[in-house]
Amino acid sequence: MHVGESHSPGPNVRFVAEARLPSRYGDFRVLAFECAEDGLDYGVMARGELFGAENVPVRLHSECFTGDVMGSLKCDCRDQLEAALTYVGNSEKGAVLYLPQEGRGIGLANKIRAYALQDRGLDTVEANIALGFPDDLRRYDTAAEIIRLLGIRSVALLTNNPAKVAGLARAGIAVASHIPLQTPPNAHNAFYLATKRDKSGHRL
Ligand SMILES: [Zn+2]
């Protein structure tokens, strides 16, 4: 695959390495990128020839230690990640970008502080505000730069979140379509999902 040279302006992201990665969701390639601005590494699971491709299924997945790794039932992150990897794993081409922005960008320790407030009855948005954070600190310019480096011309975004479509479009990426990821609620995350729908505008 061809990965272009980094160019400015932008968050100064560079491609580091790529390797084959067979997974339970199919045969992927895993790519690593480094962002000089935030000093973080970004991982991408990819399939097919992406350079010059249009309408490529792409998921921007924000890291969730409790959900993705530990199987928490408080959120739907792992369900969404698995749905996205399954979708791309069954597609000719596609990419899942794993973004190191835990807890909507506030970090793991602050996310657990917010969980402690939620144990006392606050919802996700109220808890973040009580800690002095805006509802959502996530940003998509680094993801946009990675999509450009992959040579993807336009994306079919795997998401229920209109803010993500808008954020990526603002960062200069052509969003040709979006593909909803519906995952069933459970007894623990029904309130979380309702807050996403009612306060954050997610299509659920
Ligand atoms: Zn989560």
Residue range(s) defining the domain that contains residue 155: 33-101+138-200
Residue 19 lies in a domain: no
> Which pLDDT does position 7 carry in this prediction?
43
**pLDDT(79) > 90:** yes
Confidence category of residue 4, pLDDT binned at 50, 70, 90: very low
> Which pLDDT does position 125 carry in this prediction?
86
Rounded to two decimals, the pTM is 0.86
- Average pLDDT of the residues in 55-73: 96
> Which pLDDT does position 66 carry in this prediction?
96
Q: Give buried/exposed letters for 64-87 (b at 16+ CB in 10 A, else e).
A: bebbbeeebebbbbbbbbbbbbeb
Confidence category of residue 8, pLDDT binned at 50, 70, 90: very low
Confidence category of residue 3, pLDDT binned at 50, 70, 90: low
> Which pLDDT does position 199 carry in this prediction?
78
> Which pLDDT does position 78 carry in this prediction?
95
User: Does 1 or 113 have the greater pLDDT score?
Assistant: 113
Q: What is the CATH number of the domain that holds 195?
A: 3.40.50.10990
| Dist. CA 146 → ligand 1 center (Å) | 23
- Average pLDDT of the residues in 11-37: 95
Residue 114 lies in a domain: no
> Which pLDDT does position 201 carry in this prediction?
78
Question: With the CA atoms of 167, 130, 78 and 187 taken in that order, what torsion angle do they form, in degrees rounded to the nearest 10?
Answer: -130
The verdict on whether omega for the bond into residue 9 sits within 30 degrees of 0, i.e. cis, is: yes
Contact 48, 91 (CB under 8 A): yes
| Strand 26-35 with 13-23, pairing | antiparallel
| Strand 26-35 with 41-47, pairing | antiparallel
| Dist. CA 68 → ligand 1 center (Å) | 7
**pLDDT(11) > 50:** yes
**Catalytic residue list contains 138:** yes
CA distance 85 to 79: 10
| Dist. CA 199 → ligand 1 center (Å) | 17
Residue 49 lies in a domain: yes
How many structural domains does the chain have? 1
User: Does 196 or 67 have the greater pLDDT score?
Assistant: 67
Residue 110 lies in a domain: no
| Dist. CA 78 → ligand 1 center (Å) | 7
* Marked catalytic residue, from 76, 79, 136, 141: 136
Which contacts (CB < 8 Å, 24+ apart) does range 84-87 have? 84/59, 84/158, 84/181, 85/23, 85/25, 85/26, 85/45, 85/59, 86/25, 87/57, 87/59, 87/158, 87/179, 87/181
| Dist. CA 76 → ligand 1 center (Å) | 6
Residue 4 lies in a domain: no
Query: pLDDT tens, 119-178?
Result: 999 988 898 889 998 777 778 899 999 999 999 999 999 998 888 899 899 999 999 999
**pLDDT(5) > 50:** no
**Catalytic residue list contains 136:** yes
**CA 173 to mean position of chain CA atoms:** 15
Residue 188's contacts (CB-CB under 8 Å, 6 or more residues apart) are 73, 74
Residue 27 lies in a domain: no
Residue 94 lies in a domain: yes
| Dist. CA 62 → ligand 1 center (Å) | 8
| Dist. CA 9 → ligand 1 center (Å) | 32
* Marked catalytic residue, from 78, 113, 138, 148: 138
Residue 113 lies in a domain: no
Confidence category of residue 10, pLDDT binned at 50, 70, 90: low
